[in-house]
Structures are given as structure tokens and as C-alpha cells.
Amino acid sequence: MEPIAVALDGSGEWAVIHRCLACGVLHSNRVAGDDSLVMLMALAARPLAAPPVPMDYLPGP
């Protein structure tokens, strides 16, 4: 299982989204108290570091 993202559920609780390396199925697991906050924040910031659309397509200020 590979962690690929974090998500918020309806109650505001965080979950880690994992992808199975063998079959590609996605699974969601609640964040545990002993999970690394640094790693959770890195997963949350990943889309900002590598946006799905080139920044050239966004309008300038």
C-alpha cells in the first residue's frame, strides 16, 4: 500500500488514501494519533507542488 493523498470526511476528520501496489485499488484509512504530522502535511501539499495543469495556463495578476 502506498499513501497517495489525504482527504477530509464530512465530519472534518482526516483520512489517508492508499493505493494498492499490486492491483491499484484505493483504500481510505482514518488518521491515527501516532501518524507523522509532517508526512500528512507533505501529502496534503503535494498537489500544490505539482499542479495538474501547467502554471502557464493560469491567468496572471
Task: Encode the chain (61 residues) as per-residue pLDDT tens digits.
Answer: 999 999 998 898 999 999 999 999 999 999 999 999 999 999 999 888 887 778 787 777 7
Which grid coordinates are listed for 36? 507523522
Torsion of CA 51, 23, 43, 34, to 10 degrees: 170
H or E element, residue 15: strand 14-19
Q: What is the DSSP letter of 22?
A: T
- Whether the Cβ atoms of residue 8 and residue 44 lie closer than 8 Å to each other: no
Q: Would the pTM of this model clear 0.85, i.e. be above it?
A: no
